[in-house]
Amino acid sequence: MELLDGLRASKAIKEELKLEVAQLATEGKKIPHLAAILVGNNGASETYVGAKVKACNEIGFKSTLIRLEDDISEFKLLSEVEALNNDPDVDGILVQLPLPKHIADEKVINAIHPSKDVDGFHPISVGRLVQGLPAFVPATPYGIMLLLEHYQVNTKGMHAVVVGRSNIVGRPMSILLSGNSNPGNCTVTLCHSQTKDLAGWCRSADIIVAALGRPEFIQGDMVKEGAIVIDVGITRVADASKKSGFALKGDVHFASVSPKCSYITPVPGGVGPMTIAALMKNTFRACTENN
């Protein structure tokens, strides 16, 4: 069993980007600028946005963090997005989800200009991805592909089972794995909460991508020998033995699954760091393509 170490792979990607940003600076060219909007004070969202801003600083990107109260009107939030759309110095825009219930996520995502959609959620980005055209790919699926590429995992001809059908992870992941690429060229089965005999589908898989948000759902008896297992889940579970009062659990029961795997991602330290690295790559691309 080999651990797919997202911390190591993301560090390598960030080091490459750091060198490329230094080269841009040497040539007097524009430095990538990521703007993030954080609505309210959700603890997990604070952590995620903080990690993204930190990554920008490490690489040499410019970053702007706009903090808004959770009672902000939808109209005012859309106005903030439009101001960033019109700011020529801003290359990438992300609005941290989830948003308060009185604001429609879809309306806000659709308001981001496609050329600055570094989260890859805009319908134009999704449409281009589906058609196999160059596109901003959602950061978590993109990060997983970068992780497989970093470890030179050959997925050609494999049966991949993606558990979870969200627009953020499951659906785009199934498209990427089925694409004519390496990693890719898989036969993909997309499973979800209504799938009959989900355990049976998982046992047939050469690759399992678990992205359903249920701690330790994938157990050892659901995985065949030699499988590649990608654990996207990360859930805070109460744990009195921890100083923080909680432990981070993935969607995979690591202790029972890992002995059967050829490759597996840890939680934390697997997919999470790769999501941020992928976002940085999208932001760099937005800058170089639009300037």
Catalytic residue list: 52, 96, 119
| Number of alpha carbons in the 13 Å side-chain half-sphere of residue 218 | 37
CA torsion through residues 118, 134, 143, 196, sign: positive
Backbone angles phi, psi at 176, to 5 degrees: -65, -45
CB of 278 closer than 8 Å to CB of 17: no
Q: What span, in angstroms and rounded, lies between the C-alpha atoms of 160 and 210?
A: 11
Residue 261 to residues 16, 233, 264, Cα–Cα distance (Å): 30, 18, 6
B/e letters for 142-175, b = 16+ CB within 10 Å, e = fewer, are bbbbbbbbbbebebeebbbbbbbbbebbbbbbbb
- The conformational region for residue 231 under phi > 0 = left, psi -120 to 50 = alpha, else beta, is beta
Q: Is 249 helix (H, G, I), strand (E, B) or coil?
A: strand
DSSP character string of 32-74: PEEEEEEES--HHHHHHHHHHHHHHHHHT-EEEEEEE-TT--H
